Amino acid sequence: MNEPLRPEGFQGYHRVGNAREDAELTHVGPGTPCGEYLRRYWQPVAMSEELADLPVVVRVLGEDLVLFRDRSGRPGLLHRHCAHRGASLEYGIVAERGIICCYHGWHYDIDGTILRAGSEPADSPICRNVVQGAYPVHEHDDLLFAYLGPPEDRPPFPVFDSERMPDTARKPFAITTPCNWLQVYENTQDPIHVLHLHARSSGVQFGAASGIDQVIEYQDTPLGMMNVQTRQVGEHVWVRTVDSILPNANQTGAIWEEAEAPKAFRRCAILRWMVPVDDTATRTIGWRFFSPRLDPRGQDDPTLVGRESIDFVGQTEDERPYEERQRQPGDYEAQVSQRPIAIHALEHRASSDAGVARLRRLLRRRIRELAAGERIRQPDACGLDAVPTYCQDTVFRWRGADRPTAEDLRAAGRCVAGAVLGSDRLHPQRREAHVREAAERFAA
Ligand code: FES
Ligand SMILES: [Fe+2]
């Protein structure tokens, strides 16, 4: 057979360009299209344990802020620089109610209104005319969420069904990655990297079964999209769905899944938000879930889950020496090295990037809908006690005489994904039964 025709090599000189990043999807500061979009949703900004008696400087969506808990226990999130003459409120005195700027004693409530303007008279017009920038904070299961959008558009705080898994413990974590948020987020709709980065380039980093080649498809969900990964593992077929909850949340199944026993609609090990610090840094904040159902071999390690740390490899810079990270790179190395902001115009996307392309398209559509004045879509509990989501693992025994073909695996994936999507108005227990029955019908 003839070698395929290739372009001429040694073309470095001709490949130096000045292409720019895709600002519409990557710039997040105030007034940017993507920044406006992300500001319409509750975003986690810290773990509760990061907030002791002193105020904490946080940077979110390119804004410098100060997070504190007043002495009556209420969390507050104010613009960092005092409305008087700009001293940072990180040096403020936390009060019974709100915080007092160290410099001239202006006293702010958690909503930014002035309770007393230092030495000005108590009835000073300053108290009526000046307000410090402030955002509402909602504390929920050891995470502090903030809403940075226009007050009149503040949505109800969403609780997701994965948070209601029975007999499941959870622990918060927060991990900083020095690159644009989209690189971290779109990684979750790039399932082919699990095979290359996490099983071949670096040896097996997660469950061995996740290193088996899979059939991948993508589907929209009411919350965004999901990928459907279907593999043959020994005598079983394993269908994993991984969902992206727009604009920037993601759920992922059991880290060490080996698909060695039948199961249906087994839920997720992680719920996390990729929150932009600014255009070139991201803080992934969320919960790691623990239960024997998700981790039958006891490979999880909750003691490693917390501030800048999680219990699987390759997520931070500090956890390993540079040489080891070069020899066995993980998500951190891959994502950060795509440049501070990946430049889409320089990419040569392939068929395996269909999920990334789809996620970018979805985000761009929503960003433009918002800019055009359309109503923003918020997660909807549909009358249930939590918002239904779509991440799960289903494993069933393959009964065919021969190995499943790629077409068989695709059909299995579609069957399970259809049952997952079609059962989202059911109570979680009935939903599990619904998915199990669909998988069993398919297998029979
Ligand atoms: S700068 Fe804050 S009170 Fe003067
Ligand atoms: Fe990964």
Residue intervals of the chain classified under CATH 2.102.10.10 are 42-153
What is the average pLDDT across 438-442? 96
pLDDT of amino acid 353: 98
Residues 229-257 have pLDDT tens digits of 999 999 999 999 999 999 999 999 999 99
Residue with the smallest CA separation from ligand 1 atom 3 is 104
Q: Which residues contact 98 (CB under 8 A, 6 or more apart)?
A: 70, 76, 107, 108, 109, 110, 115
pLDDT of amino acid 233: 96
What is the average pLDDT across 379-395? 95
State yes or no: pLDDT of 44 exceeds 70. yes
Assess whether the C-beta atom of 41 lies below 6 angstroms from ligand 1.
Answer: no
pLDDT of amino acid 331: 96
What is the average pLDDT across 327-350? 97
Cβ atoms of 110 and 134 within 8 Å: the answer is: yes
Domain at 42-153, CATH homologous superfamily? Rieske [2Fe-2S] iron-sulphur domain (2.102.10.10)
Residue with the smallest CA separation from ligand 1 atom 1 is 85
412 alpha carbon to ligand 2 midpoint, in Å?
A: 24
pLDDT of amino acid 1: 58
Ligand 1 atom closest to the Cα of residue 104 is 3
Report the DSSP pairing between strands 392-397 and 236-245. antiparallel
Pocket test for ligand 1, best of 103, 107, 115, 132 (most atoms within 8 A of CB): 103
Rounded CA gap, 223 and 380, in Å?
8
What is the longest distance spanned by two Cα atoms in the chain? Answer: 91
Q: Which residues contact 210 (CB under 8 A, 6 or more apart)?
A: 194, 195, 198, 199, 204, 257
187 alpha carbon to ligand 2 midpoint, in Å?
A: 7
Pocket test for ligand 1, best of 80, 89, 90, 101 (most atoms within 8 A of CB): 101
pLDDT of amino acid 428: 87
For the question of whether the overall pTM of this predicted structure is more than 0.75, the answer is yes
Cβ atoms of 148 and 135 within 8 Å: the answer is: yes
DSSP secondary structure letter of residue 316: -
198 alpha carbon to ligand 2 midpoint, in Å?
A: 7
Ligand 1 atom closest to the Cα of residue 82 is 2
Pocket test for ligand 1, best of 91, 99, 104, 107 (most atoms within 8 A of CB): 104
> Average pLDDT over the chain, rounded to whole?
96
Candidate CATH numbers 3.90.380, 3.40.50, 1.20.1250, 2.60.200; the one for domain 161-316+379-443: 3.90.380
Assess whether the C-beta atom of 104 lies below 6 angstroms from ligand 1.
Answer: yes
Cβ atoms of 416 and 435 within 8 Å: the answer is: yes
pLDDT of amino acid 2: 72
Place 27 in a pLDDT band, splitting at 50, 70 and 90.
Answer: very high
CB < 8 Å & 24+ apart, contacts of 212-216? 214/409, 215/406, 215/409, 215/410, 215/413, 216/191, 216/192, 216/352, 216/354, 216/355
Ligand 1 atom closest to the Cα of residue 83 is 2
State yes or no: pLDDT of 319 exceeds 90. no
Place 3 in a pLDDT band, splitting at 50, 70 and 90.
Answer: confident
157 alpha carbon to ligand 2 midpoint, in Å?
A: 29
Assess whether the C-beta atom of 87 lies below 6 angstroms from ligand 1.
Answer: yes
State yes or no: pLDDT of 270 exceeds 80. yes
67 alpha carbon to ligand 1 midpoint, in Å?
A: 17
What is the average pLDDT across 5-11? 90
Assess whether the C-beta atom of 106 lies below 6 angstroms from ligand 1.
Answer: yes
What's the CA angle centered on 40, arms 36 and 45, to 5 degrees? Answer: 95
Place 125 in a pLDDT band, splitting at 50, 70 and 90.
Answer: very high
Assess whether the C-beta atom of 82 lies below 6 angstroms from ligand 1.
Answer: yes
Rounded CA gap, 131 and 149, in Å?
17
pLDDT of amino acid 132: 98
Assess whether the C-beta atom of 84 lies below 6 angstroms from ligand 1.
Answer: yes
Residue with the smallest CA separation from ligand 1 atom 4 is 104
Residue intervals of the chain classified under CATH 3.90.380 are 161-316+379-443
Assess whether the C-beta atom of 81 lies below 6 angstroms from ligand 1.
Answer: no
In this structure, which ligand is nearest to the CA of 132? 1
